[in-house]
Amino acid sequence: MTIPVPVGLKPRGPVRSAPPRRPGSVRRTATMDFTWPDGMAGNTVLDGRARDMRTDGDGTATILDEATLSVVSDPGRVIKEIRSAPGLPGLQGLAGESAMSGFRRRLAGVADDGELAAGTPLYQLLDDVPGATLVSGSAWQQWYDMDDYRVFKADVSQRVMRDVCIGYQDGSTALNPDGTLRWEQERQLAVDIDDTGDDLAWHLRACPAAVTMCRARRIDVWAAGAVLHVDAFFQDSSTLPEGGRQSIHEYTLTAQADLVTGIVHSVTPVPRVLPYDECPLAVQNVSVLAGLPLRDLRGAVLERLRGPLGCTHLNDMLRALAAVPELARQLTVGAGT
């Protein structure tokens, strides 16, 4: 029995990563580029970069904050090296630990309350490490014969994925009857994130060659009357042997919240590119976030959209909205009139 997916939820295809910058807005951009200098069986190298920038009413652009993150992890996803700018006391304590399982819990013990509460660019990069690391290895799929790739990924092939997320819900077309993956995914050619016509649309970022995976985020924030508006973009993409990039996961999103209290009025995600037919069903469940404070979304998303109620990658996009109050504060701090 197939799981019905409304026609209106079908992915709409890749889009440009950023609209023209709106006067009187703040934009956060973040990228995480993964490479493998010694091949698929070697270490994974992460180059993370993020920037907050305000565009004033007269169009003047002001950089508010920037951050970089470098992580080297071994084939078992254990962190060998980690460093950041600005520096974070205690960050080296994450070395020798997994970049995935338990990473956010250990991060909470390293990052002080101010870093967690403020939603800085550096914390966004750090918070994204486990989710982006999880998907990074899929960059190799188009560079290998599928049979060879599945042999290399035998541990994943044998893993029961049932109900890990909505795309892997029981009965999904993504799964075999025993709950293991079928490895039949939908991907589309990506629009390069720098294809915007604006040199300031994104921060200066790494553009590595050969096999790479990039997670890219953009969040635009502005106020109109008593309403705080958000326009966001999320994309996981990887290089192709013949050139260009393919989009693996891609969403856009709009949201509105109370300017003073930060209480969420509405969140409207749009599926753009997703690997399985059932993945878009997750957007039907985000209404449970209405009425919550934006600052609480990192925890609330994990509680309310766990397992087959949510999409792992949409959840990552929704959790990042917890930084919106801090970005909104920068709309008026030192802004031109």
Q: What is the 3-state secondary structure (H, E, C) of 30-63?
A: EEEEEECCCCCCCCEEEEEEEEEEEECCCCCEEE
**Is the residue at 182 inside a domain?**
yes
**Is the residue at 5 inside a domain?**
no
Give mean pLDDT in consecutive 10-residue pieces for the chain, a chain of 337 residues. 87 96 98 94 96 96 97 96 92 95 89 64 95 92 80 78 95 93 89 95 88 97 97 97 94 98 98 96 97 96 96 96 95 61
C-alpha 27/C-alpha 22 separation (Å) is 9
**Is the residue at 198 inside a domain?**
yes
Kindly report the backbone phi and psi dihedral angles of residue 299, in degrees, each rounded to the nearest multiple of 5, phi listed first: -80, -40
Give the Cβ contact number of residue 216 at 10 Å: 22
**Is the residue at 188 inside a domain?**
yes
C-alpha 184/C-alpha 246 separation (Å) is 15
**Is the residue at 268 inside a domain?**
yes
C-alpha 218/C-alpha 51 separation (Å) is 10
- Position 336 scores a pLDDT of 44
**Is the residue at 230 inside a domain?**
yes
- Position 155 scores a pLDDT of 74
What is the domain extent for residue 230? 23-329
pTM: 0.94
- Position 327 scores a pLDDT of 96
**Is the residue at 173 inside a domain?**
yes
- Position 337 scores a pLDDT of 39
Name the domain count of the chain.
1
DSSP assignment of 250-301 equals EEEEEEEEETTT-BEEEEEEEEEE-SSTTGGGGGGGGGGGTTSBGGGHHHHH
Q: What kind and span of H or E run contains 223?
A: strand 212-224
**Is the residue at 63 inside a domain?**
yes
